[in-house]
Structure 1
Amino acid sequence: MSEKIEFELVGEESMVAFGRRLADASQGWGIIYLEGDLGAGKTTLSRGVLRGFGHEGAVKSPTYTLVEPYEMGESNVYHFDLYRLGDPEELDFLGVREYFGPHALCLVEWPIRGKGYLPAADIEVSITYKPDSRIVRVEPLSEHGQTICSHLLQGR
């Protein structure tokens, strides 16, 4: 796979704008793992992705529900937050594999907590907090992930 690409984003609006770019680059499908400490900006990035598909309502982290579905016309985006997942096996009982289809975009916060039960990601987005900015690293993990990264690089 290609190497990671890196962006430095300053302020919440730049994170949301980057999420919009990510939505466009994804072409409405794929699996995106979101890594980063609490408060790094994973949900803010997810809000940007959803704005990119036209969602105008609130976007909250589905910490207690594990998944929040957003069905917008032809676009289905599923936002997962596995932070409170007790055991990865719970994902099978909840039927989450049904969300990971060829016509959906899945955003997965805390994917390490679902290890062994989640499908492989197309890209992994790692967000690192800095006092005045966020460092966002995007690593392609599939052919579709490489296409996403190519589109992101075109917009630099």
Structure 2
Amino acid sequence: MPGVERMLDESANPAGRLMASPVSGRVAALAGVPDSVFAGGILGKGCCVWPDEGVVCAPAAGVVGAAMPHAVGISTGDVEVLVHIGVDTVEMGGKGFELLVRQGQRVEAGQALVRFDREAVAAAGHSDCVVVTVTNSADMAAVELAAEPGAEIWSGEPLLRIIEE
């Protein structure tokens, strides 16, 4: 994705590091996620995107720390990001998901992580919102939305602003 690496470079954004949206869709506050663990910020501060497509990409360059069909964790070195597809989708046992990366793999911003079948998620009775959280939010000065709630966003556009202490 042209320009994504520059966008995520702190030197290009002295007001904080920008994390890209992993998917195209509609931005929503974390409180709007239909799951109390995510909505309550227990897994960190962040937001969600109600997707228009079934391909989830890396919001930043880093190393995959966790790789499951419905969720991928990425470490940038100082920021830990969780990209979780849907609510209770772990119950699907991987059906409808194609994991494209493995634990320990280096990924680039914009690289496809998971393909998923939105219809299969809906048929299983689950929400397909794509949740993005900074799991080590407590170590950051702030984690803020860089996009307006309710706005349409393209994969790779700025989604979260992370200000390190």
Which TM-score band (shorter chain)?
0.3 to 0.5
Higher strand share: 2
In the superposition, the TM-score normalised over structure 2's length comes to: 0.32
